[in-house]
Amino acid sequence: MAANRSKKFQTSEFPGFDPEVCMPILSDEDCPEEYVVFPGFCDVHVHFREPGFSYKETIKSGSLAAARGGYTDVCTMPNLDPVPDSVENIRKQLEIIENDAVIGVHPYASITVGQKGEMLSDMENLAPLCIAFSDDGRGVQSEEMMEEAMTRARKLGKLIVAHCEVNSLLGGGYIHKGVYAKEHGHRGICSESEWRQIERDVKLAKKTGCAYHVCHISCRESVEIIRKAKAQGVDVTCETAPHYLTLDENDLREDGKFKMNPPLRSADDRLALIEGIKDGTIDMIATDHAPHSMEEKSRGLEKSAFGIVGLETAFPVLYTFLVRENVLTIQKLIELLCTNPRKRFNIPFNNNDYSIWDLSKHFAVDPEKFLSMGRATPYDGMKLYGECLKTVRNSGTVYEKQVEK
């Protein structure tokens, strides 16, 4: 019976999700004993590129890709055209979401007008329409502006979600400033460009009482700063991405599909992130799904656009390299992909949102089969375990694996 296997995941482990509610929907044919049912995953950091850049990805293609990855809710970043810095602009995105999204899509509003860091957005009027505030893709360089943003966000009951990057420390870099960069003549991005702004922001969060969330941390120092801030009672959470947990600079190739921001860092940094996952310093895993056109990703490490796709490979990557290798339990992984992001971002469980997986299935990653319009992934050709067979949202099937003839 399907229920026998699914009972591994009880309500006590995933508050708000009761697998017994799902079971009447599932026949033995849908979910035989060797398959597993998970509550719908939640990704708080994706780029669906619409409006403004629909040649890279659309709300429809991005949400279909998410559904294939077992996600039933995602939060979309604001680096769009127009930037959602006003009610008029965010409503353009909300209209597309209403018409085209197959899962729950929750848009961010920008912290600053045009994400330029010069003037705060219309935060008070945007608050009811957005999941949180972020200038993702850019760090807010002004300490005074970030403090004011945090003060206003606290009053509005909204998270400030920060891409932490000190522009003056970037030095024109595009991969990690480490061994690979030195040996291959590339300009590097130092880790300090990330952790220095986190260090600033946790002090501001403590001062203002703002709920603060750090995007895609990638280095050892960031983990240490956040761990210390949590111990001091600062209301801070953070995420990392699958690629920072499973790859490092030793895996780099002279190919744009290995270029993302922040970059893949050292093996020591990767191990520090894993320790941060284990001890609860890192609260969740988000993909930073960032599709670009094939042309934009075909210019090598130096000239390709920053960003890779990840929604369709996230669970198989993490299951293969962390769970199967006994680094994490499957319960801990679902906590990172589902429970914690929903709790922090106030995105409720729905008992009718779930996905069915064959964890014994192994396959080679083929980007040409992605539902995302993006194709750039460092896992191209890699053999992974775990295949999503079906994803259901609000009792309706939003993805189902097609039987190959």
| Among the listed residues 384, 386, 385, 388, the one whose alpha carbon sits nearest the alpha carbon of residue 399 | 388
At residue 404, the pLDDT reads: 63
CA 258 – CA 370 distance, rounded (Å): 18
Q: What is the mean pLDDT of the chain?
A: 92
Q: Say if CB 244 and CB 288 are below 8 A apart.
A: no
Which one of 288, 358, 366, 380 is the catalytic residue? Answer: 288
At residue 351, the pLDDT reads: 83
Task: Indicate the burial class of 189 (C-beta count within 10 angstroms; 0-12, 13-18, 19 or more).
Answer: buried
Residue 358 carries which side chain, given as an amino acid letter? D
**271 vs 12 pLDDT, higher one:** 271
Distance of CA 355 to the CA centre of its chain: 18
The string of pLDDT tens digits covering residues 244-286 is 999 999 999 999 999 999 999 999 999 999 999 999 999 999 9
At residue 30, the pLDDT reads: 55
The string of pLDDT tens digits covering residues 377-404 is 999 999 999 999 999 999 999 999 987 6
Count of beta carbons in the 10 Å neighbourhood of residue 58: 21
Q: Say if CB 22 and CB 35 are below 8 A apart.
A: no
Going from the N-terminus, what domains does the chain have, and what CATH number goes with each? Answer: 42-350 (3.20.20.140)
**7 vs 215 pLDDT, higher one:** 215
Looking at the chain, the whole-number percentage of residues with pLDDT higher than 70 is 91
**34 vs 330 pLDDT, higher one:** 330
CA 379 – CA 369 distance, rounded (Å): 13
Residue 31 — pLDDT band, cuts 50, 70, 90? low
When computed from its CA atoms, the radius of gyration of the chain, rounded to whole angstroms, is: 20
Is residue 288 annotated as part of the catalytic site, yes or no?
Answer: yes
Q: Say if CB 390 and CB 36 are below 8 A apart.
A: no
Residue 14 carries which side chain, given as an amino acid letter? F
Looking at the chain, the whole-number percentage of residues with pLDDT higher than 90 is 89
Mean pLDDT of 19-41: 61
The string of pLDDT tens digits covering residues 132-181 is 999 999 999 999 999 999 999 999 999 999 999 999 999 999 999 999 99
Q: Say if CB 94 and CB 116 are below 8 A apart.
A: no
DSSP secondary structure string for all residues of 100-158: H-SSEEEEPBPSBGGG-SSSB--HHHHGGG-S-EE-TTS----HHHHHHHHHHHHHHT-
Mean pLDDT of 48-70: 98
At residue 349, the pLDDT reads: 87
Count of beta carbons in the 10 Å neighbourhood of residue 4: 8
